[in-house]
Amino acid sequence: MSKKTASSCERNQQVILDQLTRLLSDRQGVLEIGSGTGQHAVYFAPHLAHLTWHTSDTVDNHASIEAWMAECPSENIRSPFVFLFGEQAWPEVEIDAIFTANTTHIMPKEAAKLMMEMIAVNLPKGGLFCQYGPFNVDGEYTSEGNRDFDLHLEKEGCGGIRNISELTVWGKGLQLIEKIPMPANNFLLVWQR
């Protein structure tokens, strides 16, 4: 079976959608960076039928994304393409928004930095970047659970939880317009170019 399931997607998809419904109400195209299992795309897209949802991830996740799309078809979702920062050029898709969930802390630090830099250059003027996940505030963990999670990420060879101030420096040209507290010590950061 190609379809994968992430319990975190099941837990957070409605609270994220509540925010995206408001934030993306006037948008036409969204690039999802790191579509993972595909669960978020098939959950969000039918509720945001006015826009086109472009999925992207490493090739090993494409089968799961396609399986979810086959099970929960929606006319406004596009098949995944490979997009890795530092390996592919910026994709040629028409977008005015970007969404990513639980990717920034998985990426190596260099890739997270490159992501912020590339979005700051390639997102159209006025475009939004909605970035969901755990983040540190003023260099501090927001919970003991996040501290423990960061130690786990380090052992797994991931980049780790990033400081919001660090992202702000990397994303020169992006303005952090909202920092929305979310369940389980996460945030939805909303950046605008």
User: What is the C-alpha separation between 132 and 14, in angstroms, rounded?
Assistant: 13
Sequence-distant (≥ 6) Cβ neighbours of residue 146 within 8 angstroms: 134, 136, 161, 185
What is the pLDDT, as a whole number, of residue 107? Answer: 95
What is the pLDDT, as a whole number, of residue 8? Answer: 87
What is the pLDDT, as a whole number, of residue 71? Answer: 94
pTM metric for this prediction? 0.96
What is the pLDDT, as a whole number, of residue 10? Answer: 87
Map out the domains of the chain with their CATH numbers. 7-192 (3.40.50.150)
What is the pLDDT, as a whole number, of residue 46? Answer: 96
What is the pLDDT, as a whole number, of residue 79? Answer: 97
What is the pLDDT, as a whole number, of residue 1? Answer: 57
User: What is the C-alpha separation between 123 and 172, in angstroms, rounded?
Assistant: 12
Average confidence (pLDDT) per 10 residues, the chain, 193 residues = 86 96 98 97 97 97 96 96 93 97 96 97 98 96 94 93 97 97 96 98
